[in-house]
Structure 1
Amino acid sequence: MKSVVVHADGKVLVEERPVPTVQHPDDVLVRIAYSGLCGSDIPRIFAQGAHFYPITLGHEFSAEVVEYGENVRDLTAGDAVVCVPLQPCFACEECQRHAFSQCKHYQFIGSRSDGGNTEYLVVPRSNLFKLPAGSSLLQGAFLEPITVGLHALKLAGGCAGKEVIVIGAGTIGQLAIQCARALGAKAVTAIDINPQRLALAQQTGASFVYNSSEMSAEDIATQLAPRRFDQLILETAGTPQTVALALDIAGPHAQVALVGTLHKDLQLSAKTFGFILRKELKILGSWMNYSAPWPGSEWQQAIDLCEQLQLEPLIATMGNAQHFADSVNALAGKPMAGKILLNMTER
């Protein structure tokens, strides 16, 4: 079978690998349909950030069931499924308290073990979310990134009637914007430095857009002043500047959900830190996308919302294994312009 393999030198190659087989009674062999490149994969490819090499990445994938072990009784061959990549131990105190994302002994498909950028993969039944009959496998490949934003919204107690502000209009941000609109936000504002991303956000659900490379934090705060109450700010860009921006523009008693992962140290000015106190901001961290009962209501909510979301405009390129490998190799040193998708139905 064909696998897209990442090597320690940052090269992404299409290689032939043996088809895996079901070894355990809870295992499921799946045939991959679509698999997306996540922003978290970039350092694994280009900055030697993976746990081992060579590695097959991919934790945002949809697939069809081929075979399964004797303990699997709720799947049949041909069923459409989506990967739930976190593998908590389910035994530690964190897991017993349903803090699955804080499990001390977790594994992760596509990061700590090989993932879905391949033709076939064996996955434990607990790491598969069964899609309803008639669901699109292409939509399924977006389910994991959709749940990232939904998890933050859940931690914030929902977004209905709130002024939702999303800082960072990459894939996670774009999906969060659309979900917030669908879930009853009073208004949705997108902030980014890329005019193309802002134009797309406005096309797919943002009521207001601001370019933070052209406007100061004070200017943006002035524009937000009429909508300064009942704010829920989602920081999805994951840079020190955007975290500071979230705090600078927040209104009184705003909720600030930190979703993006920082790769540089955060240093806040005394003035910006003072805003946390003076405005009595509610800061919450959002890590991954899981809750109880496993894997969490976010996953069912995501598939329920899919028909209301515009997903295809988020795709930068999609193709077979070689096209995917070429597209990823071409990214070296460049920002992602949209979702890069592996289409394993295209041989």
Structure 2
Amino acid sequence: MKAVIVNEGGSLSLEDIDIPKITSPDQILVKIAYCGLCGSDIPRIFHHGAHFYPITLGHEFSGTVIETGNDVTEFDVGDLISCVPLLPCFKCDECQKHYYSLCKNYTFVGSRIAGGFAEYIVLNKKNAFKLPKGVSPLEGAFFEPMTVGMHALLLAGGCQNKHVVIVGGGTIGLLAMLCAKAMGASSIAVLDINDERLNLAKQLGADVIYNSKNLSSDEIYQALSSNRFDQIVLETAGSPITVRLAIEIAGPRSKVCLVGTLHNDFTLPEKTFGLILRKELQILGSWMNYSAPWPGEEWLLVSQFFVEGKINLNDLIAVIGDFNTFIHKVRDLNGQSMNGKILLNCS
């Protein structure tokens, strides 16, 4: 089979390797349909961020089951699945409390073991979520990134009849916006410094958009004042500036959910810290996208939204390409951000 190999130093190669074989009775062999490039893959490729090299990355993918181990009763040959990349131990105290995202004894597809930038993959059966009829393979490749924002919204108690503010209009932020809209949010505001992303957010259904490069945090806070109660603020950009901005624009007793991963040290000014106290904010950390029953309510809700036609992904896809096109696009990303999802078409 063909696979994209990431080598030390950021070089990518397309290689012919053996199709993996089932070695345990609880495994399935999957023919991959689509695999998305995640923002977390960029440092793994270009900044020595992988656990080992060479490696095949990719954890946002869908595919078809073509073989099952002897102990697999949950899947049949021909089933369409989405990858659930985390494999917790299910034994530690965190797992016993269903805090699967917090398991310290886990493995992860496309990070700690080979991933989906290939034609075939062997998965533990718990690393697969069966897709219902009516959900396409392309939609299946979006389950993992979409459930990231869903997890944060559920940690905040859901967003029905609440006002959602999303700081960061990248793919995760816009997918979270689509989830919030499907969950019945009263209003959705999106902040970014990129007008192209903001226009896309508006096109996808945001009620208001703000360019935080042109407006101060106080100006944005005042603009949001009519919707300042029952508010959830999702920080999805993962930078010190946007974390501070999320706190400064939040309304009284808002829940501020930190989703984006920081790659730099963060110092909070005394005045901004005081706002957490004075506005009685709740600061929630959100890590990954899992709950009970495994893999969680997040995955069931996303599945439901696709079946009901509440999510349209067309405008969020930048490129769908074969192996060579995919490698070319990834190489172009060194030092640049992604505007829209880049997908490998393995079919």
Fold similarity call, TM over 0.5: yes
Other-structure match for 1:251:
251
Per-residue Cα deviation, 1:118-150 (whole angstroms, up to 9, x for no partner): 000000001100001232000000011110111
Q: State the alpha-carbon separation in 1 of the partners of residues 14 and 146 from structure 2.
A: 28
**Paired residue type of 2:325:** H
Q: In structure 2, give the amino acid aligned to 1:183.
A: M
One-letter amino acid of the structure 2 residue matched with residue 342 of structure 1: L
Q: Hey, what does 1:166 align to over in structure 2? A: 166
Equivalent residue for 1:343, pick from 327, 342, 345: 345
Q: TM-score, normalised by structure 1?
A: 0.98
Distance 2:140 2:134 in 1: 11
In the alignment, does 2:332 pair up with 1:330?
yes
The alignment partner of 2:283 has SS state of strand
TM-score by length of 2: 0.98
Does residue 5 (structure 1) correspond to residue 34 (structure 2)? The answer is no
Deviations 1:308-346 (A, max 9, x none): 11211111111111111111011111111211100001x
Distance 2:227 2:27 in 1: 50
Q: How far apart, in 2, do the equivalents of 1:300 and 1:86 lie?
A: 16
In the alignment, which residue of structure 1 is the partner of 2:196?
196
Deviation at 1:222, TM superposition (A): 1.2
The amino acid that maps onto 1:323 is: T
Partner of 1:107: 107
- In the alignment, the residues of structure 1 paired with residue 173 and residue 184 of structure 2 have an alpha-carbon distance, to the nearest angstrom, of 17
CA distance in 2, matches of 1:163, 1:74: 39
What is the root-mean-square deviation in Å for CA atoms of aligned residues? 0.8
Match status 1:309 vs 2:293: no
**Structure 1 runs of 4+ with >2 Å offset:** none
How far did 1:77 drift?
Answer: 1.4
Structure 2 CA distance, aligned partners of 1:85 and 1:178? 22
Deviation at 1:198, TM superposition (A): 0.4
Identity %, equivalent residues: 56
Q: The residue matched to 2:224 in structure 1 has which SS?
A: helix
For 1:100 and 1:229, locate their aligned partners in 2 and report how far apart those are by CA, in whole Å: 31
In the TM superposition, residue 74 of structure 1 has moved relative to its aligned partner by 2.6
Give 2:315's aligned amino acid: P
Q: Residue type matched to 1:141 in 2? A: A
**Aligned equivalents of 1:170 and 1:255: distance in 2?**
21
Q: In structure 2, how many angstroms separate the alpha carbons of the residues matched to 1:154 and 1:122?
A: 31
Count of residues in correspondence between the two structures: 345
Deviations 1:6-42 (A, max 9, x none): 1111012111110011111001000000000001111
In structure 2, the partner of 1:138 is 138
> C-alpha separation between the residues in 1 aligned to 2:225 and 2:198?
20
Aligned to 1:300: 300
* Structure 1: segments with no counterpart, 5+ residues: none
1:204-238 residue CA offsets vs partner (Å, 9 max, x unmatched) = 11000000011110111111111111110000000
Counterpart residue identity of residue 241, structure 1 = I
Instruction: Provide the C-alpha distance between the structure 1 equivalents of 2:237 and 2:250, rounded to a whole number of angstroms.
Output: 16
Of 113-122 and 91-100, deviating more is 91-100
Give 2:303's aligned amino acid: I
1:161 is paired with a residue whose SS is: coil
Match status 1:184 vs 2:187: no
Structure 1 counterpart SS, 2:260 = coil
Separation of aligned partners in 2, 1:200 and 1:309: 15
1:285 is the counterpart of 2:290: no
CA–CA distance in 2 between the matches of 1:152 and 1:135?
A: 23
Aligned to 1:261: 261
1:49 correspondence with 2:56:
no
3-state secondary structure, aligned to 1:29: strand
Distance 1:64 1:236 in 2: 31
Displacement of 1:182 in angstroms is 1.4
Q: How does 1:14-25 map to 2 (within 5 A)?
A: 14-25=14-25
Aligned to 1:224: 224
Unpaired runs of 5+ in structure 2?
none
Cα distance in 2 for partners of 1:217, 1:10 equals 38
Equivalent residue, structure 1, for 2:270: 270
For the residue of structure 2 that corresponds to 1:308, the secondary structure is: coil
